[in-house]
Every structure is written in structure tokens, then in C-alpha cells.
Structure 1
């Protein structure tokens, strides 16, 4: 995801477009919508690979939005999510948005999908019966009567199918919808333009040669004009412009023929990205003196860090050494585990004196920060870590979503944590991974340390690697709940409210 926009979720009337960079800081007063925004990432993820009745799984172990009625902003009837992303299929940057509403039986469903790329725009209207009522291509409406949607558990969006095929084969796997009607219209249009003077095989060949997946109007026009044969076709289109009515009709029909496939691919691309969301909640598990070992292969730390001791204990010796060096570099201590009699004890070792202390006997802040430190190390080592998740393990973009990372930490410790955030983004980059941290915080120390590192210009880190989003219940002059602040080259925040951290 390159950006995200949300409308009518809890107190968020409209966040506006929020760009997602290496470090994304969410700040604001209590109940201003920061947590609601941040928890959208695990919310979207937890419904993937799950049999559910609607587009989102509102309640799960990680986050609980209740249901649509409790999640939607008071007085509103629809909720909107919009994303920009770079397609994993053909590298085309696209925006994908969808509205969620409820029907008469209070079942929520997606009633509108909008997909845009380059200068092309597709809109799909869906009714409560799961039927496509209308599809819009660049503002031109086309009536569709034979397309239905079916929930796709591995995607955010439903799949599109031929209505008759679904009714006849409801219990077996069926093929996605292909718009044969649009293809027929394209062939007819080409034949009409050529005044019916060429053979059907030639018309089919022209269609085959101008069929591309995702290109702009300008590129599509160049494709049409690049065909030198047949000569009649070349002479017909060589002087066309993007405003030519015949060109626009042909462009829209071409897009109509593949519109449902493009939307499905965009939805799958976004879902693939969301599968790499890693979430750390605001209240992490307190340390225990001993843990029962479970015979489970752990691939990721859970949102509360409950499985942290088992995760660390099961690392290889090489991985433990690497984790030790990672923690020593920034904090002067490291984790060790001892296994005996079916129990695991996890301890902190102080680098200065070698003193080993059970995590349960250390300050509460240590138990709260450990899941964050180990999670960051895990993500930066994604390509070399022995235990990678099999699903989407080749992804090069990872997300780490953390609520209040500074809890129970001294301001100096918070600043050190900010240094680790910067290092994690840089180390991941060196390992061929684009790591995006999304942090909801009240920490002045974290924000100031990031500004200081930008001003020093010593690291591979600049103002362009940071988004700072200020949340407010009241709408600003742009009609959104979020105002974007920016670090300048000297690490000073522009568009930052005076006295933001003052008590009065």
C-alpha cells in the first residue's frame, strides 16, 4: 500500500489520503481516531483466509470492532476504504476503493467498487442480492444483467461469476466471469469502422493484437496506431486523438471486456499485501517466571507477545546470536532462554556486568517492549530467518503496526526505541525488504529523536521516509479528520500545532 483513506469508521468522517512511508506516526488527543485508523490494518487482515458472512471479520483475537452497526460513524449509512498500491502483476499503480453498507436484514455487503489506474476508471454497482446492477467505464454506464458476486475468502473483494453458471453449478468450482458480450461488441465495432470490407479472421487478428491488460488511453492509442497491417486499419486510426469519439468507444469497450478480471486481480494484490501485516497491541503480556513449552512451530509473535519465550527459545543458535547483537547495539542487554523439565524461563542479560535477571523480576517496561524488539528483528531478517511463513513469503513489503510502543518506558528509552525504528527500516531495506512501521504514540521523545536523526543526515534516512498524521475529532479546513505534518531538512516539524504536547 502506498496510501490509505477511510470514511465513516467510528469518529473518522474522512481521514483524507494518508501516504504510507517507512515510519508513519499517528498522534492526537485521546478518542481522536488514531487507534481506529491503526486497527484497520489487522481488521482487514483478520478476515482473509476465513469463512465469513460479509466483507470484513469485525471481531477476532487481535481487534474487535463489534459489527458494522457499532463500527460505522453515527448517522452514516456507508463506510468507505480506499487504497493505492502497485500491482504485483504488471507493476501498474492503481487505486482501489469500496463501500460497505447493510441490507434490510442488517447483513453488511460491498455495494460499490471503484478501480482506477492511469487515466482509466471503473465503477461497479452491486445490489443486496449480490447482483451487479451496473458497471461504469470512464463515466459511461453499461447495464449488466448476468453477473453475480460470490464471497472470496482470500481476497478483500468478492469474485464475479456468470449468474446462470452459478445457479447451475452452485456446489462445484466455477470459472470467473468473462465478458463475452463486450468482446462481441469490440469485434462489431472494428468491423463497422472498416466498413465490413475485411474478413472475420482479419478482424479477429486486429482484436488480438490490440488486447493489453492495464494501459492508459494514451498507451492504448499508440497500440492501435502501431499496427501497420492491414493498411486500411492503419489509415483509419493514424490521425486519431484521445478525444476521438470512435477511439473512446473502443477504449471503453476494451476496458469493459476485462474490467471484472482487473478488479479481482487488484483485490488479490491488496490482500497479498495485507497478509504481511504484523500487529502489536497496546497492552502486552506481563512476564511470567516460567512458561510451559508447547510443541508448536511459531512463525510470528502474537499481538500481545504471549508466545515470545517460545519463539525466542526455538530460534537456531545462529539466529539467537544475531538477535543478541541486534539488542546489544541499541539497549545494552539481550534475551536468553533456559529450558528444563518442560518449562522455559526467559531472562535479560546486562552487557556491563553480565548479570542475568528473570524477565519477571525486571521492570514492567521491559516485558512490554520485548515483543516489539523481537518482532522488528524478525521482520528485518525475513529473507534469512529459518522459519518463514509459507503463504506469501516472497513479499518484499512488510507492515508492523504498533500501538503505544512507549508504554512504561523512560523518555531516554523511548528515544533509543526511535533509533531502533529507523535502523529496522534501513536494515530491512539492505535485505531487499520494504518495511513500513505504523505507530500510534503520545511520545514526544520518539518524535523529537526522529527529527534529530533527520537533521544529522548521517543515516540513510530523510524527511521523505516519515509521515506524521495529526488526528482530531473535528474536521479541518480540508474537510478531513487528519492533518499531515512534515519534517523539514533540519528535522523541524512544519504544520505542527503550537504547544501540542503542553499539559494546558
Structure 2
């Protein structure tokens, strides 16, 4: 599950995080902010996949937002812009330290309903990450980090209270060239090796967080306890990112009797200064891994998203053959012929049959005399795509991208929760009957993806549309139980009653019969003057 929202982006001053369902439609009048919302998807991707010096790459191969000054909500150039993400499963690795050559493997902790808000602010001719806020519902914990213009941590709050960490000793910086950053601690022992987001310390060195914990615990426990025993106890404390009473109870049952009184006193006293200090140290040592886990998950989600825009290239009768292996369709569909030519025989046959089942014709690619051409396959004829109407040439790249969202092969390292495809106005130049068939294509692919046990990702579609036919067809398919109402939503973009330059986004849904609930009267009618 993914929810996301943002603030101060063009007309969209505040968009609370909305769930991305298998099918999400964006509906509204022209210039209401629909394209802005949808294009954040390819914006994240081009920002992730390109080496940058700022969190966001406003102008790239996929979309062009211009710059921060142009993209920020009008009149708010000096204000921060923020992006909020809510994830349902984040796995954080802790532990993995070595004490006296005794190694205990890292422990994986899973957290649900993790909310991460990343704020960016302008500085000179670029932008920087100014704040990161993380809420972990499991632990009823929120963390707020603030950074200066050099990316150095300036404040660290836990549950709205300043942390006890001495930031002169525990110095953090945030990586500046990505919206999904890494937090780096400079208070590390010499020779530290980083592997898979976990810091490993040499056998002769302890982490600075553990050194400070040793000092605090030594002052509160029996002085006759050996250094080795004390270190092993500290190591057990740092196996979890949070020092909860439940964890303290479990520790009390498993630890040396010399530590049981110390543990029970901490658990019994809600105002324990020692517990607060140790909790902040443990959380402070885990924050880089928490942020790294969230960032890694978001990078996998958005790094492989697909996008196709509204202005798609006109088909040509012949295309010059190129020895190119094309693994993805461009946003304008210009490389669609080369994409088709790169498919295997089985893939091409699968795509053709899929389109034929929907629209009654298949497609094929013919290569001759150094050129290739796209032809339709219908009955006993094979006309060139340029001879069958402009609408067909415009919808084929869209259909290809919808099919490819599920069919594309995945590497061993791709563990993304789902594939996200953003489509702008797929119905352009289509007859209403074919616009309705687009709904069938979206529903079919969403359901196949969800039901296929061999698929490692769910396909979700975000579609900007002005098609009343497509909207009604989705309602019909819900009423016929072809898809659940909970799998579909409509995001409605409406002018704010307080400020005509600001758009308000709200979600409307279908009921069990496929009827839209709370649909604004006269939405598709012209405004009266």
C-alpha cells in the first residue's frame, strides 16, 4: 500500500496523502492541477534515476516542471515544499555488531503504517532537504529531523520533545542529491564498513552510541560487573530500535540477574531519565537505518514507474530500422515501433492477442528493406496503421504501456511492491465505444496482476481523463462485480471556495451498484455566465 501527498506545488497548496488504488482516476476542469498531480510520478522517477545535486530534477527526459521557483505555489517562493508518503510495510535492519569477535546476525524489524514527510527549501540556485518527519504507528513514535544548508543535522526531536543526544558528538548529515536520502553519521569508529544499510564496527571498537550507553549504565549498576558482561548487555539493548516496556520485560527474563533490577526500575518509572537517555541513544543509532529502509522502498517503487503523456507521436508508414533494444515506451510513444521490434515472438504474440480480445484487431511488425512498419491484423487484411484512422495510432502506445506494466520481465533484485503506470488522457481521438473498452483494459490488467501468484508486483493505474464514458463504464463493471468498488477511486479537482487560484482535491467513490457517491451536479456541463 502506498499513500502520498504534497504541499505548495503549483495550484495544489495542500494534498493530503491519498491511497493509490489499482485504478485511480483524476477528474477536473482544465488547469485544475490534475496533470501536476499525475506528473509527480515521473518527476520522482527522473529525480531518482539521474545523478543530481538537488532533491528534485525539475526538468528531465520525462517531464518538465521548469524550476522550484516556477513549480512552487504562486506567491510562496520562499516557503518550503513537502512530499508525504505512507507505507504499509517497512523492514528495518538493526544489530549486526561484533563484540570481542562474537558476531550476532542483524535483526529485521517490520513496521506497518509508516509515514514519512520530506520537506525541501530553496537555497541560492538549488534546493535542499530541510526537514524529515517520520511517524511509526506501531511504536507510537514520531521523529523530526532538521538540517541546515550544508545538510548537517541541527535538531532531533522524538515525540515532540528534544532528544538528549549531543549533536556535537553524534553528528549527522543528509545526502543532498535525492528526494529519498540517506542519513550519514560522522561519529563512527575508524575503519567502519557499511553493508546493506547496517554499520559494522571492528572487534576492538564500539559505536559511539554504545560507548555513551556503557557510560550511563556503568554509573547505575554494580561496579563489579565486568566490562565484557556490560558490553554484551548493551549489545542486547541495541538489537531493537525502540526501548519499549515490552522489550524491557523480555530482556529482564533473559538477562543476567545483575541487570534485572536495573531493567525493572527503568520500566516501572515513566519519568526515568536513564531510560530517556538510553532510548534516544538506541533510536539515534537506528535513525540512519530507518531512513535508509524507507528511502530504499520508495526508490524501488518510483524508480520503475511507467508514464505516457497526452501528446503522442503521429504514426508513420515506415520507420528506419535501428539495432536498438528498447525496454520501455517513451512518454510520447515515439519509440513505439522500436519497442515492438524489440519484443520476442512470444511477447509480440501475447500483446497482439490481448489487443485483439479488446478491440477486435491485433498488431504485427513487418521488416523489409531496412525499414519496419506497423500493421493491424484483422480478418484477412493487414492494413498499415496509418491507413486506419488517427485514433488507432494514438491509442496503440497507451495499450502497449498498459500491457507492458504487467508483462515486463523483472530482475532478481526488483522487490517493488507494485508497478505504477501514470497515463494522461488515454481517450484522445477515440470513439466513445473504444473509450469504454479502455476501462475494460485497465480492469483486466489490474485483476490479472492481483490474482497471479507468479507476479511479484501489483499493477496500479493513475489515469487523468475527461471521458464521461470511461467513468461510467468503470461504474458498470463494478455493478457487474467485475471489480470491487474498493479497487477504484476518483480524485476530484475543484476550485477552492476561498481562493480561486487554489485547487482542492477530494476523493469520491462508487457504491456497490457502481453509482458515484457525492458526484457534483453538472460537473460535465459548461458553466453558466
Please say if residues 27 and 492 of structure 2, whose CA atoms lie closer than 8 Å, have aligned partners that are also in contact: yes
CA distance in 2, matches of 1:38, 1:392: 27
Paired residue for 2:85?
A: 83
Gap change, CA 1:284 and 1:241, over 3 Å in 2: farther
CA distance in 2, matches of 1:302, 1:253: 48
CA deviations 1:237-289 (Å, max 9, x no partner) are 44736945354443333111211232122112211111121000111111011
1:174-253 equivalences under 5 Å are 180-194=207-221, 196=223, 198-213=225-240, 217=244, 220-225=247-252, 227-238=253-264, 240=267, 243=270, 245=272, 246-253=274-281
CA distance in 1, matches of 2:446, 2:33: 26
Please say if residues 151 and 159 of structure 1, whose CA atoms lie closer than 8 Å, have aligned partners that are also in contact: no
Paired residue for 1:107?
A: 126
CA deviations 1:30-65 (Å, max 9, x no partner) are 111111111011111101232212111100121101
1:135-150 equivalences under 5 Å are 135-142=156-163, 143-145=166-168, 146-150=171-175
User: 1:158, CA displacement in angstroms?
Assistant: 4.6
Gap change, CA 1:480 and 1:97, over 3 Å in 2: farther
CA deviations 1:141-184 (Å, max 9, x no partner) are 2452333333356x622542428999xxxxxxx99899944333
CA distance in 2, matches of 1:345, 1:269: 40
CA deviations 1:366-397 (Å, max 9, x no partner) are 11111111112122223xx4xx5x59544341
3-state SS in 2 of match to 1:121: strand
Paired residue for 1:323?
A: 351
Please say if residues 159 and 176 of structure 1, whose CA atoms lie closer than 8 Å, have aligned partners that are also in contact: no
User: 1:402, CA displacement in angstroms?
Assistant: 0.5
Q: 408, 412, 429: which one pairs with 1:408? A: 429
CA distance in 2, matches of 1:466, 1:20: 9
1:42-121 equivalences under 5 Å are 42-76=42-76, 77-85=79-87, 86-87=89-90, 90=108, 91-93=110-112, 94-103=114-123, 105-118=124-137, 119-121=140-142
CA deviations 1:98-133 (Å, max 9, x no partner) are 111112x23211111112223222221111122211
Q: 453, 457, 473: which one pairs with 2:495? A: 473
Q: 141, 154, 173: which one pairs with 1:133? A: 154
Gap change, CA 1:257 and 1:489, over 3 Å in 2: same
CA distance in 1, matches of 2:184, 2:385: 52
Paired residue for 1:170?
A: none
3-state SS in 1 of match to 2:66: coil
CA distance in 2, matches of 1:426, 1:435: 9
Gap change, CA 1:52 and 1:177, over 3 Å in 2: farther
Gap change, CA 1:371 and 1:502, over 3 Å in 2: same
Paired residue for 1:399?
A: 420
Paired residue for 1:266?
A: 294
Gap change, CA 1:489 and 1:259, over 3 Å in 2: same
Please say if residues 22 and 465 of structure 1, whose CA atoms lie closer than 8 Å, have aligned partners that are also in contact: yes
CA distance in 1, matches of 2:352, 2:498: 46
CA distance in 1, matches of 2:162, 2:399: 52
Paired residue for 1:34?
A: 34
Please say if residues 33 and 472 of structure 1, whose CA atoms lie closer than 8 Å, have aligned partners that are also in contact: no
Gap change, CA 1:127 and 1:184, over 3 Å in 2: same
Q: In angstroms, what is the RMSD of aligned CA positions?
A: 3.0
Paired residue for 1:462?
A: 484
User: 1:26, CA displacement in angstroms?
Assistant: 1.0
CA deviations 1:202-228 (Å, max 9, x no partner) are 222222223235568465445444x33
3-state SS in 1 of match to 2:48: coil
CA distance in 1, matches of 2:121, 2:71: 11
Paired residue for 1:449?
A: 473
CA deviations 1:389-423 (Å, max 9, x no partner) are x5954434111000111111111111111011000
Q: Normalising to structure 1: TM-score of the pair?
A: 0.88
3-state SS in 2 of match to 1:401: strand
Paired residue for 1:334?
A: 362
3-state SS in 2 of match to 1:57: coil
Paired residue for 1:381?
A: 407
CA deviations 1:456-499 (Å, max 9, x no partner) are 11x3x21111121111231689x982111122211122232122
User: 1:3, CA displacement in angstroms?
Assistant: 0.2
- Counting matched residue pairs gives 486
Please say if residues 400 and 435 of structure 1, whose CA atoms lie closer than 8 Å, have aligned partners that are also in contact: yes
Gap change, CA 1:480 and 1:303, over 3 Å in 2: closer
